[in-house]
Amino acid sequence: MIREKRKRKKRILLFVRILLMLALVFGIMFLIAFKVFTVENVVVEGNVLYASESIQEVVLNDEYSWNSLYVFLKYKFVDTDEIPFVDTMEISLDDPHTLHINVYEKGMMGYIYIPGINENAYFDKDGIVVETSSNAIVDVPRIDGISCDEVVLYEKLPIKSSDLKNILSLTQALKRKKLIPDAITYGIDNAPVLTYGGVSVLIGDTTLLTKKVERLSTVMPSLSGMSGTLHLEDWNEENTNIVFQKSE
């Protein structure tokens, strides 16, 4: 009986010691997290449409955001607040004092104005509507001459498949060559006209689209600051002459 009581007492003492050791360890860990992990630097990458300060304000949005470990762990379980034109943001720690925010913006190839909602519908490389907004985003071309009364977010633009295919082929070809126009206008014959400031570019038949865009990339630098019309509608591999008609 006495032995059993002694054994029981030893087990209790051992359990108490373990609890105290665990409490001490957790206390030290908490103290380290509280004192060491403080936000002193924030690195923001991938943002084009938003200033780094704006992204930082969205991420560090509560009273505990001074603690870098807290912010890191928080966004392991909770998504950041939604921002128009931003797909996702990833938050990591470079060191105890430096938060790293990678911003992944929605890839937008162009936008069409939708009268029914009085907003612009932005679409990606697959023709999917990724955002609607009254804002006009820099370096995203406006598409004119295409009728569209309503759209649904995250669904394809509800226009003729042939029209959508032509728009996507043209916008992707222009983006690859970094020739983003202010606007792309489709006329009655469905031939696109590109607008770069005071310069209009007549593309004509799009069967030679890739080669026409390549040719355009070599010509455009010489037209900087000029106004007029560049004629590519009759260009082909046999007729390589390009005419630029200056505005009077």
Q: Which of 26-30, 54-58, 131-135 has the lowest mean pLDDT?
A: 26-30
Residues with Cβ within 8 Å of residue 180, at least 6 apart in sequence: 139, 140, 141, 174
Higher pLDDT, 34 or 226: 226
Q: Whole-prediction pTM value?
A: 0.79
d(CA 219, CA 213): 10
Tokens of residue 47, six digits: 């943002």
Cβ contact 90:102 at 8 Å: yes
pLDDT at 220: 93
Alpha-carbon gap, residue 118 to 222, rounded angstroms:
37
Task: Provide mean pLDDT across the span 187-208.
Answer: 90
φ and ψ at 148, to 5 degrees? -150, 115
Chain mean pLDDT for the chain: 87
Half-sphere exposure of 76 (CA within 13 A, CB side): 8
Q: Sorting pLDDT into bands at 50, 70 and 90, what band is 34?
A: low
- Give residue 8's pLDDT band: very low, low, confident or very high (50, 70, 90): low
Residue where the block lists tokens 């996507």? 168
Domain 110-246 has CATH 3.30.70: no
Three-class DSSP category at 220: helix
| Cβ contact 110:140 at 8 Å | yes
